[in-house]
């Protein structure tokens, strides 16, 4: 998902709470000492009485702190790392902090989105300001209580100290502080004074996860809730014609069978959808039952007929259309420096290659689901969605309800990877609940999830370089994709400004297959194409792969008006670090190495893959990763994202294949679709570039370079260049004899 607007620090997030109306029973004795970090009170943080202080922070009289995590948690770790930013500047011991997931609240929070690896980058200053402002208000309240000047007081680890030695706990002054003026400018800590940021901090939900507590949307339950299973068209391009639900209605536990879709079509026709609406227009048959299993069985018992509303596409048709785009000349020019036509006309030699990748399902481990309870009083929505605000907007149009009637609580999410950017499952749940006037949870089976969802679009790249007198004089990239093209920033990625005559063009064809962002959209395949092309280009020029890249980055550095997104210096930095830490070029015999270096989502990454051949099959043993994401907020969480991105990237580029036959997806479960498993997993060795630059995200940037690192290593081992993913399907190995 493309990075979006800066998260502005909303002053409204400082609720001016009047003195606690409820008064709250003061604990009998003064517990202000309780908030000193060395006092280990067996306190169940979640049960304490907290005073509202601002939208992010509540403090109990005992000084224990609740911090609200504003953004959806899809496994990228922001439910832990964003509260760390607040706690650091609030200056409280982390073990005194209880983190709670914030609901959708556009009054107090901005950009409650999980996407684009932007949460930490955008929240870095605003959330630290939130913590620092709260601390200053507490100090001001203590100073007022003591009748001294605030400058004589300091606050640290939850305790305010006056120069004469008096101390007060944050909990003792929170009620007064909450009613005070919000100070304008607050100073933030110098990174060298950080006590929480930069520390290994484990996942705030880890205790609940390892003991199986209810956390995810699929676990959510409410009194009187029924279950719904939705029958959607089996092929993209088809719509419902008729159905017979008699067999379904006869099954145990089936309460009702309805259809939905009309309300959604009205929203689409009225142009009330928004950027995160990706949904088919067919009517859908919905079986309502007393349990998930009964709902699934009921749905499978529906006999429906479908009619073609658009051409039913097969992979062959889609491939032909994409190749036709590349062969044609009416692509949109996205960036053009110098004169590529001249460079190619005068070239001694041209290297041109075409790279191809399939559609991919997201396959979050938790299939799509959502809870809705539509009543005259309010519309209560609960579940896993990466764009709660956008979803609530569409539901208000769908049900013709005021936006303020929509209350959306976010659960922890069993993976997102971009699939949950699109709220189709929220709209279905809302439309069902409105129809049956009951609280309902819509549940997708794995088969539903893989065959009626939103996919990473298939794409093909044709990359060409012109060579004259042994120099790279021109670079031309053509992108052919489905339903859309690379977002605006990508043409300004490397090698823009590094090659004098440079051009990027793109075009797409529209398919009835619903497509959308998939972890590191567009770059998740473009990086493989580009970084395998440069590997082959270096070989063609007969020059060292690393030196060529360093020189190209040097060109970008010296370019007077580069207009680029990446930093050439920081790409050179990660390249050097990866080369050094991977023992590049000096691997043991039998080990073949491949290199890839890439910028996306504001972070700079280089990867070296080590492979060995085992019975003629390449086995990825190790990947050395060098990452420059500025300050690392939570090293433990950062390592998890980095390793996860690399292995996810390797899995999908090497093993995952997906296509369509007359609109019907080629696979509907894990028996016919390969996700990477432990046995195929390399060890990932992570190295950070140490600096004090403001932090950038890690949810996506290490995935794109992984494919090329492996492909370049496989070339060294087998002599075979790889142009089509998944690589293992297209790696023609001679029969291994003996």
Per CB under 8 A, residues contacting other proteins are 73-77, 200, 202-203, 205-207, 209-216, 218-219, 221, 227, 252-253, 291-294, 363-367, 412-417, 445-446, 636-637, 640-641, 643-648, 651, 669-671, 675-679, 681, 683-684
Which tokens sit at 136?
């200053």
Q: Which residues contact 73 (CB under 8 A, 6 or more apart)?
A: 79, 101, 114, 205, 410, 412, 413
CB of 214 to other proteins, least distance (A): 5
208 or 333, CB closer to other proteins? 208
Please state the closest distance from residue 547 (CB atom) to other proteins, in A. 32
- Distance between CA 436 and CA 287 in Å, rounded? 11
Which residue, 221 or 437, is less far from other proteins as judged by CB? 221
Alpha-carbon distance 616 to 619, whole Å? 9
Tell me the closest approach of the beta carbon of residue 298 to other proteins, in angstroms. Answer: 12
- Residue 635 CB, nearest distance to other proteins (Å)? 10
| Closest to 398 measured CA to CA, from 423, 416, 419, 418 | 423
Compare residues 348 and 614 and give the one whose CB is closer to other proteins: 614
Q: Which is nearer to other proteins, 254 or 497 (CB)?
A: 254
| Cα separation, 327 vs 67, whole angstroms | 55
DSSP 86-150: HHHHHT--GGGEEEEE----TTT-S-----TT-HHHHHHHHHHHHHHHHHHHHHHHHHHHHTS-G
Whether 261 contacts 412, CB under 8 Å: no
Q: Pick between residue 233 and residue 644 the one whose CB is nearest to other proteins.
A: 644
The least distance separating other proteins from the CB of residue 140, rounded to whole angstroms, comes to 38
Angle (CA) 472 473 477, round 5°: 85
How many of the other CB atoms lie within 10 Å of CB of 586? Answer: 8
180 burial type by CB count under 10 A (0-12 exposed, 13-18 middle, 19+ buried)? middle
**Which residue number, 51 or 641, has a Cβ lying nearer to other proteins?**
641
Residues 6 or more apart whose CB falls under 8 angstroms from that of 381 comprise 370, 371, 372, 391, 392, 395, 406, 407, 408, 409, 426, 429, 430
Closest contact distance (angstroms) between CB of 655 and other proteins is: 12
Query: Which of 413, 477 has the CB closer to other proteins?
Result: 413
Cis peptide upstream of residue 726 (ω within 30 degrees of 0): yes
Q: Which is nearer to other proteins, 305 or 669 (CB)?
A: 669
Closest C-alpha among 608, 354, 387 to residue 477: 354
**CA-to-CA distance for 195 and 507, rounded, in angstroms?**
50
Q: Closer CB to other proteins, residue 71 or residue 203?
A: 203
- Closest separation in Å from C-beta 684 to other proteins: 6
| Nearest distance, CB of residue 128 and other proteins, angstroms | 24
Looking up tokens 């709220």, which residue turns up?
A: 423
Q: Which helix or strand (DSSP H or E) is residue 247 part of?
A: helix 246-249
Of residues 213 and 311, the one with the C-beta less far from other proteins:
213
- Residues ≥6 apart with Cβ < 8 Å to 37: 93, 95, 96, 157, 158
- As measured in angstroms, the least distance from the Cβ of 75 to other proteins is 3
- The residue among 282 and 639 lying less far from other proteins, judged by its C-beta, is 639
3-state secondary structure of 353: strand
Dihedrals phi, psi of 323, to nearest 5 degrees = -65, -35
- Name the minimum Å distance from CB 697 to other proteins: 14
As measured in angstroms, the least distance from the Cβ of 483 to other proteins is 24
Q: Please provide residue 101's backbone torsions phi and psi, each rounded to the nearest 5 degrees.
A: -75, 125
């Amino acid at each position: 998902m493309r990075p979006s607007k800066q998260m502005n620090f909303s002053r409204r997030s400082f609720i001016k709470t009047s003195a606690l109306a409820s008064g709250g029973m003061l604990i009998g004795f003064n517990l202000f000492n309780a908030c000193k970090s060395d006092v280990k009170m067996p306190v169940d943080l979640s049960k304490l009485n907290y005073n509202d202080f601002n939208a992010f922070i509540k403090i109990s009289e005992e000084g224990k702190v609740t911090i609200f995590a504003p953004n959806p948690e899809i496994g990228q770790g922001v439910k832990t790392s964003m509260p760390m930013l607040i706690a650091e500047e609030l200056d409280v011991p982390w073990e005194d902090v209880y983190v709670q997931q914030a609901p959708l609240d556009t009054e107090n929070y901005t950009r409650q989105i999980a996407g684009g690896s932007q949460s930490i980058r955008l929240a870095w200053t605003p959330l630290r300001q939130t913590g620092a402002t709260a601390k200053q208000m507490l100090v001001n309240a203590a100073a007022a209580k003591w009748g001294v000047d605030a400058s004589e007081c300091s606050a640290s680890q939850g305790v305010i100290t006056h120069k004469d030695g008096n101390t007060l706990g944050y909990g003792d002054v929170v009620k007064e502080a909450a009613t005070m003026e919000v100070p304008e400018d607050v100073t933030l800590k110098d990174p060298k004074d950080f006590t929480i940021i930069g520390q290994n901090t484990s996942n705030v939900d880890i205790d609940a996860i390892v003991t199986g507590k209810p956390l995810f949307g699929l676990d959510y339950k409410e009194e009187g809730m029924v279950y719904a299973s939705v029958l959607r068209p089996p092929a993209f391009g088809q719509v419902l014609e008729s159905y017979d639900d008699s067999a379904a209605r006869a099954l145990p536990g089936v309460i009702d069978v309805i259809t939905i879709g009309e309300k959604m079509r009205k929203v689409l026709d009225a142009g009330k959808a928004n950027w995160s609406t990706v949904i088919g227009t067919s009517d859908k048959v919905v079986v309502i039952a007393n349990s998930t299993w009964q709902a699934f069985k009921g749905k499978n018992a529906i006999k429906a007929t479908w009619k073609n509303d658009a051409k039913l596409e097969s992979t062959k048709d889609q491939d032909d259309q994409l190749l036709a785009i590349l062969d044609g000349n009416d692509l949109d020019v996205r960036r053009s420096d110098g004169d590529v036509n001249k460079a190619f006309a005068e070239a001694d030699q041209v290297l041109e290659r075409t790279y191809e990748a399939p559609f991919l399902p997201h396959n979050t481990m938790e299939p799509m689901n959502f809870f809705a309870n539509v009543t005259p009083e309010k519309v209560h929505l609960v579940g896993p969605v990466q764009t709660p605000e956008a979803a609530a907007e569409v539901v208000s149009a769908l049900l013709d309800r005021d936006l303020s009637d929509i209350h959306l609580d976010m659960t922890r999410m069993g993976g997102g990877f971009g699939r949950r950017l699109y709220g189709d499952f929220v709209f279905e749940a809302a439309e069902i609940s409105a129809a049956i006037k009951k609280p309902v949870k819509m549940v997708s089976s794995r088969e539903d999830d893989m065959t009626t969802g939103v996919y990473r679009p298939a794409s093909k790249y044709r990359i060409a370089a012109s060579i004259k007198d042994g120099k790279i004089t021109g670079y031309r990239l053509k992108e052919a994709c489905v339903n859309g093209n690379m977002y605006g920033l990508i043409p300004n990625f490397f090698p823009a400004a590094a090659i004098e005559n440079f051009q990027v063009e793109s075009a797409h064809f529209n398919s009835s297959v619903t497509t959308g962002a998939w972890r590191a959209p567009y770059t998740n395949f473009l990086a493989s194409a580009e970084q395998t092309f440069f590997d082959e280009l270096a070989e063609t020029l007969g020059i060292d792969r690393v030196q060529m890249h360093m020189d190209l980055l040097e060109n970008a550095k010296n370019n007077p008006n580069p207009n680029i997104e990446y930093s050439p210096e920081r790409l050179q930095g990660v390249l050097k670090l990866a080369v050094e830490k991977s023992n590049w070029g000096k691997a043991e015999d039998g080990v073949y190495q491949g290199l890839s270096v890439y910028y996306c989502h504001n972070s700079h990454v280089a990867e070296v893959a080590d492979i060995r051949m085992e019975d003629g099959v390449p086995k990825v043993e190790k990947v050395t990763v060098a990452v420059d994401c500025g300050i690392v907020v939570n090293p433990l969480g950062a390592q998890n994202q980095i390793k996860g991105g690399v292995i996810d990237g390797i899995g999908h580029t090497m093993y995952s294949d997906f296509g369509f036959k007359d609109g019907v997806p080629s696979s509907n479960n894990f028996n016919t679709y390969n996700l990477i498993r432990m046995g195929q997993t390399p060890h990932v060795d992570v190295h950070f570039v140490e600096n004090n630059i403001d932090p950038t995200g890690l949810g996506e940037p290490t995935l794109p370079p992984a494919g090329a690192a492996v492909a370049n290593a496989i070339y060294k081992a087998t002599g075979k260049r790889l142009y089509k993913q998944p690589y293992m399907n297209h790696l023609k190995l001679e029969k291994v004899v003996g």
